Amino acid sequence: MDRTAGLLNVVDIEATCWDGMPPVGSVSEIIEIGLTVVDLDSGQRVGRHRIVVRPARSSVSAFCTQLTGLTQAEVDTGVSFAEACRLLAAEHHTGSLPWASWGDYDRKQFTRQCGYQVAYPFGDRHVNAKAVFTEVYGLRKRPGMAQALEIAGLPLEGRHHRGEDDAWNIGALVLDLAGRGGWPD
């Protein structure tokens, strides 16, 4: 029996950011990866994970700390981006399981940051949950995750703009969509 059948990885990242332009020589880098495992067959969120990532070409600004709650001291204890990608593939089967994120930012940031030096940890079965939500709910404009929770009548659990919490909340939205028959196979 395949123990991964019906499972979906829901991913949300946080990255270094600034109120305005980044300092000279700095680039936006992933500093937290939140991953919630959703069992579409049972209709439950069955795993909640977090990987803190140490940035190599930027630092956490005061603006970033205010937004995410992540500090430079905390991300300094994280793993390298390459190690984070290895952990995703080895421990969470990200190369073989389908995955979802709220919009395309997370997918594009991973693609950019992996470049030619780090193996991309995900397979090609990605679903933009924001686009699915917009279609299923018949909206004209794609809502942010917090607004989507309100529209669906679901609570915001944890801190918004924290990868682990946002992935958990997106997982709830995925299950809502699946319950309405709107989640793609």
How do the domains of the chain map onto residue ranges?
A: 7-179
Backbone φ and ψ of 79, nearest 5°: -90, 165
State how far the Cα of 127 lies from the Cα of 10, in Å rounded to an integer.
9
Q: Do the Cβ atoms of 64 and 49 come closer than 8 Å? A: no
Q: Do the Cβ atoms of 166 and 23 come closer than 8 Å? A: no
pLDDT category at 5 given cuts 50, 70, 90 is confident
Homologous superfamily of the 7-179 domain (CATH): Ribonuclease H-like superfamily/Ribonuclease H (3.30.420.10)
Share of the chain above pLDDT 90, in %: 96
Q: Which amino acid is at 34?
A: G
Largest CA distance in the chain: 53
- pTM, full prediction: 0.96
pLDDT category at 101 given cuts 50, 70, 90 is very high
Give the pLDDT score at 4.
75
pLDDT category at 55 given cuts 50, 70, 90 is very high
Mean local confidence (pLDDT), 149-175: 98
Pairing of strands 99-101, 126-128: parallel
